[in-house]
Amino acid sequence: MKIWTGRFDGEEESYHRIFQRVSTDSDYENIKPNDFVLHGFAVDEGVKRNKGRVGAQDAPDLIRKNMSNFPVVSSEFSLKDFGNIKCENNDLEAVQNLLADKVSKVLLKQGKSVVLGGGHEVTFAHYSGIRKAFPNQKIGIINFDAHFDNREPENGLATSGTGFWQIAQEGEIHSLHIGIQKNSNTRKLFEIADDFGMKYILADEIYSENIPNLMFTINSFLEDVDIVYVTVCMDVFNASIAPGVSAPAYNGIFAGRQFMQIYRHILSSEKIKALDVSEVNPNFDIQERTARLAASLVNEWFMF
């Protein structure tokens, strides 16, 4: 609880900030419907395997710190923090299975799953937990990312860049990728995305005049699925606002009016059951800009 601190203005509910509404827990039976339930995925073994800049395993507590002082908007808001999950003996697959089990318990209690990465290998773990909880539902994944993360594993080893390839191997994939960069994905990765039926919106397509077309694409996607999982890889953003990531995108998108219009519209959907942020790397952050942005993106969901 030392991480969850902030400005104290008073006990009255209208004064509350997030740190005043957090409870640490270890008993999943205590979860009530619509509780936000947080796990830290303190893991970047997948980033290491993917030859990225390691350090994201240290991000969950830093993101928590930057979440703490946001004001509480809803009188019903409750956040339960179940602590961090760490990778032992470089066994990424085991820790992904562990997170999946914990996420499924949250969702079966009708809680809302929030995960703070860690590397983007969190995607396959988080999705697996959702699939375990809702085996007969059509799960849609909205991925804000510069990369498709649909590489085939080398030597059978998963990485931070193989999540969507792994998901596709388990059956039909339903995903919409927003912020994809042409200069961050080979032609082969675009071909794999097309073969898998992965839908995408290029970073170059996110501009004011095109918002109506993007909203149509997003609404069509939302209408076609039963459950929505949102995952945000922080390298989707321009390096000037998100310098602390494993793979910086110097021409990434900005968290300006157009992005927030899209992002908030997605978060307003009642179909969303899970959200995570990943690839915050404190070793390369500047004045905690990236961690603060990641925290604010999570907080946007808390305000609905």
Instruction: Tell me, yes or no, whether 241 lies in a domain.
Output: yes
Is the model's pLDDT at 247 over the cut of 90?
no
CATH of the domain at 298: 3.40.800.10
Q: Residue 170's pLDDT band (boundaries 50, 70, 90)?
A: very high
| Domain assignment present for 170 | yes
| Residue 58 marked as a ligand binder | no
pLDDT confidence of 250, banded at 50, 70, 90?
Answer: confident
Look at residue 285 and tell me if it is in a domain: yes
* Residue 233, marked binder: yes
Structure tokens at 49: 């395997």
Question: Does some domain include residue 6?
Answer: no
Domain-located, residue 1: no
In a domain, 2, yes or no: no
User: Which domain range does residue 112 map to?
Assistant: 13-302
Give domain status of residue 3, yes or no: no
Q: What share of the chain is helix, strand, coil (3-state, %, to 5)?
A: 40, 20, 40
Distance, CA of 279 to CA of 186 (rounded, Å): 21
Q: What does pTM read for this prediction?
A: 0.98
Residue range 64-73: mean pLDDT, rounded? 97
* Mean of pLDDT values over 245-258: 90
pLDDT in tens, 75-119: 999 999 999 999 999 999 999 999 999 999 999 999 999 999 999
Query: What is the count of structural domains for the chain?
Result: 1
List b or e across 195-225, with b for residues whose CB sees 16 or more CB atoms inside 10 angstroms.
ebebbbbebeebeeeebeebeeebeebbeeb
Is residue 138 in a domain?
yes
Q: Is 126 annotated as a binding residue?
A: no
235 is in an annotated binding site: yes
Q: At what angle do helices 211-223 and 257-267 cross, to 10 degrees?
A: 20
**Is 194 labeled as ligand-binding?**
no
Please report which confidence band the pLDDT of residue 1 belongs to, taking 50, 70 and 90 as the band edges: low
